[in-house]
A and B are shown apart, each in its own frame.
Chain A
Amino acid sequence: MAVSVGKKDLSGLVDDRFGRCPYFMLCDSEDVEGTAEWKDNPALASTGGAGIAAGEFLDREKVKVLITGSLGPNALRVVQASGVSAFSAPGSMTVLESVRAWATGTLPAITAAGQAHAGER
């Protein structure tokens, strides 16, 4: 699974910008602490379509579950097409808390596009 994050730290906060977050935390949901690794968001450098590029990246990483803030319409299309289930966590949650909340089924699924962060840095 993947979480959009601002810092390479499990106690860091969830970054609510999917396409423009600095890193993704990738892990196996069975053992978050043991398998967590951080990857740079390759979409950060792009001038447009960051959500699309980030969605492609998750597909390449074979991610099945995504925790982020919200998804713009284009990002949502890519994420859905690649069969990823997306969940929304508030930006006040730490990464570890968000994964635990997901495991207990308390995070809402993202089924509709929120505000796109187009062009934001």
Chain B
Amino acid sequence: MRIGVLSGKGGTGKTTVAVNLALSFAQTHKTQYLDYDVEEPNGFLFLQPEVKEQVSVPLLYPEISDKCTLCGECSKACQYHALAQVSQKVLVFPELCHGCGTCSIVCRYGAVLERERPLGLVELGYHGNLRCVQGILREGEALAVPVIQAVRSRAEERSTEGFEVTVADCPPGSSCSVIHSVEASDLALLVTEPTAFGLHDLKIAVRLVRELGLRHGVVLNKDDGSRLIRDYCGAEDIPLMAAIPFDIGIAKTYSKGLPLLEDSRWAVLFADLRDKLVREVPVQKHED
């Protein structure tokens, strides 16, 4: 089973929910927690896994050799304007390059050399029996998708360890980063807060998962008992999977960097959510 945890924006408690849900699943299933929020990964701060593997994610960018005849084809072909052909040279703007390789294909003079630079990292470790994987985008880099894809291929496509449950902590917002990290989930959990902003962002997230055709449910964080989110879910026919009461204890546990499961009330709450998910989504053994 693959659960994608989403929120319309940051700061709604998305990582809290994803981390604690993963810990809860780890008690009953072979589970992995994947942090796809590569621009601001913070699940590892709570899980403190022992890191066993660190792999660099490279990005290709061109270097123009002196075989260049200044024909200008490469710059015309680059849709990201990472190349500029002016007077006597071709300029390369590596930070705009998406590493698509088009320039080296169109150059008929073999003048485009492919170079690599580190775009980010994938780290893999264990918190008890919970496998934890995170992607980290290097500071100053803007291309999140290749790092997301590297996490995906390391943990989900090439995995032969047969995980029964994957909890994917997806980036906030509704960009292509989110789509790359949430697609192919069996269920998307949309984390929100009972405020007008929370509702606004929830609507955006709902539109996204509907477009992707994903089953979805809502987790209401900082629940104060108000009707706002409940009424919306009722009207839209979206199941409310869990409500986490507004409680000062959460802020305290959270600020100490401890998973909420240390507190038995939250342990029960997340065990309920886990069991509900197990009932609703069949857990498949991944053989291979």
B10 to chain A, nearest CB (A): 20
> Once the chains bind, are B81 and A52 in contact (CB under 8 Å)?
yes
A3 to chain B, nearest CB (A): 19
Interface residues of B in 79-128 (CB under 8 A from A): 80-82, 84-87, 89, 91, 93, 96
Q: Which residues of A contact B85 (CB under 8 A)?
A: 56, 59
Contact digits for A37-50, partner B, Cβ 8 Å, 1 yes 0 no: 00000000010111
A74, B75: Cα distance in complex, Å: 15
A55, B85: Cα distance in complex, Å: 9
A53, B87: Cα distance in complex, Å: 14
> Once the chains bind, are B91 and A77 in contact (CB under 8 Å)?
yes
Most buried by B among A46, A50, A78: A78
> Once the chains bind, are B86 and A78 in contact (CB under 8 Å)?
yes
- Is A94 positioned at the interface, with any CB of B under 8 Å from its CB? no
Among the listed A46, A48, A78, which residue makes an inter-chain contact with B84, where contact means beta carbons less than 8 Å apart?
A78
> Once the chains bind, are B81 and A46 in contact (CB under 8 Å)?
yes
> Once the chains bind, are B75 and A56 in contact (CB under 8 Å)?
yes
A81, B82: Cα distance in complex, Å: 15
> Once the chains bind, are A74 and B93 in contact (CB under 8 Å)?
yes
Interface residues of A in 48-104 (CB under 8 A from B): 48-50, 52-53, 55-56, 59, 74, 77-78, 81-83
A75 to chain B, nearest CB (A): 10
> Once the chains bind, are A52 and B87 in contact (CB under 8 Å)?
no
B78, closest chain A residue (CB): A49
What number of A-B contacts does a CB cutoff of 8 Å give?
A: 42
Q: Which residues of A contact B91 (CB under 8 A)?
A: 52, 77-78, 81
> Once the chains bind, are A82 and B82 in contact (CB under 8 Å)?
no
| Residue count of chain B within 8 Å CB distance of chain A | 12
> Once the chains bind, are A55 and B86 in contact (CB under 8 Å)?
yes
A35, B82: Cα distance in complex, Å: 33
A83, B87: Cα distance in complex, Å: 8
Given contacts A49-B96, A56-B75, A74-B96, contact A81 B86 (CB under 8 A): yes
A48 to chain B, nearest CB (A): 6
> Once the chains bind, are A82 and B93 in contact (CB under 8 Å)?
no
A56, B91: Cα distance in complex, Å: 10
A50, B85: Cα distance in complex, Å: 14
A109, B80: Cα distance in complex, Å: 29
B82, closest chain A residue (CB): A49
A12, B100: Cα distance in complex, Å: 41
A83, closest chain B residue (CB): B87
> Once the chains bind, are B86 and A48 in contact (CB under 8 Å)?
no
> Once the chains bind, are B80 and A59 in contact (CB under 8 Å)?
no
Interface residues of B in 57-94 (CB under 8 A from A): 75, 80-82, 84-87, 89, 91, 93
Q: Which residues of B contact A74 (CB under 8 A)?
A: 93, 96
A81, B86: Cα distance in complex, Å: 7
Q: Which residues of B contact A55 (CB under 8 A)?
A: 84, 86
A50, B81: Cα distance in complex, Å: 8
> Once the chains bind, are A56 and B84 in contact (CB under 8 Å)?
yes
Known: A49-B81, A52-B81. 13 other contacts (CB 8 A): A46-B81, A48-B80, A48-B81, A48-B96, A50-B81, A52-B82, A52-B84, A55-B84, A55-B86, A56-B85, A78-B84, A82-B87, A83-B87
A interface with B by C-beta (< 8 Å) = 46, 48-50, 52-53, 55-56, 59, 74, 77-78, 81-83
The 5 closest A-B pairs by CB, nearest first: A49-B81, A82-B86, A59-B86, A52-B81, A78-B84
Of the A-B pairs whose beta carbons lie under 8 Å apart in the complex, a sample of 19, sorted by A's number, is: A46-B81, A48-B80, A48-B96, A49-B81, A49-B82, A49-B93, A49-B96, A52-B82, A55-B84, A55-B86, A56-B85, A59-B85, A74-B93, A74-B96, A77-B91, A78-B84, A81-B84, A81-B89, A83-B87
